């Protein structure tokens, strides 16, 4: 592999050639330039990647629908290698919104034309029979949605993107995604979970056996398996509660270190209404009571183990204990909570 200035310059030149070809609507030149981008991407240094990401992102709306999702994936790869995520994200989310709209139209037309099993998106253009049945734009929406999911998760793995996303756009994207999942039976779990990640979010955990309560703050936690381990570290590992404390390695892979390591459950997570909060869900499942997410910790009803780690390997997670609640405050909140169902 070549790592010299020549290889780095070639990526910049390839991006320039791709920009010109797309704006000239020259398909052959666009294909050739993209092949050059792919060829030199791994060889490029940080400066060249940082330059390429925003330039390709700004070009997304001008790229034809077929290859647009592939370019979005390249933008995501640039962000993973250090390109400006906040600068790239608006273009990716615009493309995602359009793709979700087209995928929604695909679902509607598929049902209207006889239904049946949905075709699995494969590399390349949609099956001609599918295009004939639902139309080109709808077929492209369905076919390229996995690519937009990949690119969007790369954006949402960065905290500066998540905190600047805004609730209206987040809600709009989730509302567009859900009917596609429901109609198709395909679960775009990575996209849904990434859109649901909370940052700088207050959480109150009440330990029912001891009657104690704890005010915490969480950020970048992809699922409740990760939250469970970090709760056990803060509360059991921190000496506040009895039980199983996860090892330093178990905690590290749930925060910012690569890999997975086996851990076991310390609690049963329960909502104030007595319903279980499943490890397979996300922290957004925890109900808000008086403006704060409120979680009850019960003893585990059975032993359960799983690979500790992060649902999103490129997303840093954090859970901080801010204070221990007073006895009266913890008791009042516990009085609002029903036994586990």
Number of domains in the chain: 2
**Which pairs from 251-259 meet CB under 8 Å and 24+ separation?**
251/308, 253/308, 253/309, 253/310, 254/226, 254/229, 254/230, 254/308, 254/309, 254/310, 254/317, 255/230, 255/316, 255/317, 255/318, 256/316, 256/317, 258/313, 259/309
Q: How are beta strands 212-219 and 201-207 bridged, if at all?
A: antiparallel
pLDDT at 121: 85
Task: Name the band, by pLDDT with cuts 50, 70 and 90, for residue 244.
Answer: confident
Say yes or no: 89 and 225 in one domain.
no
Residue 44's pLDDT is what? 93
Q: Is the pLDDT of residue 132 over 60?
A: yes
15, part of any domain? no
- Residue ending a domain, among 130, 165, 196, is 196
Shared-domain flag, residues 182 and 247: no
Q: Are residues 50 and 160 in the same domain?
A: yes
Task: Identify the band that residue 2 occupies on the pLDDT scale cut at 50, 70 and 90.
Answer: very low
Give the pLDDT confidence score for residue 123 in this predicted structure.
81
**Residue 3, SS3?**
coil
DSSP-assigned beta bridge partners for residue 219:
318
Mean of the pLDDT values across residues 182-192?
93
pLDDT: which is higher, 316 or 185: 316
- Statement: residue 5 has pLDDT above 70: no
> For the residues of 293-310, what is the DSSP string, one character each?
EEEEEE--SS--EEEES-
SS3 315: coil
Please tell me whether residues 245 and 187 are part of one structural domain.
no
Quick one: pLDDT at residue 8?
53
- What is the average per-residue pLDDT within 219-230? 98
From 179, 196, 213, give the residue that closes a domain.
Answer: 196
pLDDT band at 341 (very low <50, low <70, confident <90, very high): confident
Please check whether residues 71 and 188 belong to one and the same domain.
yes
141-158, pLDDT tens digit by residue? 999 999 999 999 999 999
Q: Which of 196, 220, 252 is the last residue of a domain?
A: 196
Looking at the domain assignment, is residue 180 inside a domain? yes
Residues 258 and 179 in one domain: no
Share of the chain above pLDDT 90, in %: 92
The CA-based diameter of the chain, rounded to the nearest angstrom, is 72
Q: Are residues 183 and 209 in the same domain?
A: no
pLDDT for position 1:
30
Report residue 3's pLDDT band, with 50, 70 and 90 as the boundaries: very low
Does 7 score more than 60 pLDDT? Answer: no
**234: containing domain:** 201-335
Q: Write down the mean pLDDT value for the chain.
A: 95
More confident residue, 233 or 2: 233
Residues 141, 271, single domain; the answer is: no
For residue 4, what pLDDT is reported? 43
pLDDT at 308 over 70: yes
Establish if 28 belongs to a structural domain. no
Backbone angles phi, psi at 311, to 5 degrees: -60, -40
Closest CA to 163 of 100, 219, 216: 219
Using DSSP, state whether 317 is helix, strand or coil.
Answer: coil
Residue 160 lies inside a defined structural domain of this protein = yes
Q: How far apart are CA 252 and CA 19, in angstroms?
A: 42
**Exposure string (b/e) for 17-29, b if CB count within 10 Å is 16 or more?**
bbbebbeeeeeee
Cα–chain-centroid distance for residue 335?
A: 35
């Amino acid at each position: 592999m070549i790592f010299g200035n020549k290889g780095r310059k070639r990526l910049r030149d390839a991006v320039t050639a791709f920009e010109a070809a797309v704006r000239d609507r020259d398909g052959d030149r666009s294909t050739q330039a993209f092949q050059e981008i792919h060829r030199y991407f791994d060889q490029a240094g940080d400066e060249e990647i940082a330059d390429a990401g925003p330039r390709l992102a700004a070009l997304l709306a001008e790229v034809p629908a077929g290859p647009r999702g592939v370019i979005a994936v390249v933008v995501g790869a640039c962000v993973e290698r250090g390109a400006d995520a906040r600068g790239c994200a608006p273009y990716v989310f615009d493309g995602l919104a359009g793709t979700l709209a087209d995928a929604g139209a695909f679902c509607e037309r598929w049902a209207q034309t006889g239904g049946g099993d949905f075709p699995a998106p494969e590399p390349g253009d949609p099956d001609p029979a599918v295009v004939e049945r639902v139309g080109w734009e709808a077929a492209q929406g369905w076919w390229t949605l996995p690519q937009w999911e990949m690119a969007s998760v790369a954006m949402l793995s960065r905290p500066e993107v998540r905190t600047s996303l805004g609730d209206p756009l987040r809600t709009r994207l989730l509302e567009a995604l859900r009917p596609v999942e429901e109609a198709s039976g395909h679960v775009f779990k990575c996209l849904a979970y990434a859109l649901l990640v909370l940052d700088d979010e207050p959480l109150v955990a009440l330990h029912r056996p001891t009657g104690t309560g704890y005010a915490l703050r969480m950020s970048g936690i992809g699922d409740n398996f990760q939250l469970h381990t970090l709760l056990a570290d803060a509360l059991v590992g921190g000496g506040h509660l009895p039980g199983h404390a996860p090892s330093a390695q178990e905690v590290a892979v749930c925060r910012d270190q690569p890999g997975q390591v086996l851990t076991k459950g310390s609690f049963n997570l329960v909502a104030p209404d007595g319903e279980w909060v499943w490890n397979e869900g996300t922290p957004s499942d925890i109900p808000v009571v008086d403006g704060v997410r409120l979680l009850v910790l019960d003893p585990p009803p059975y032993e359960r183990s799983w690979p500790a780690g992060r649902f999103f390997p490129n997303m840093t997670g954090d859970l901080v204990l801010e204070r221990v609640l007073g006895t009266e405050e913890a008791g009042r909140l516990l009085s609002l909570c029903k036994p586990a169902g």
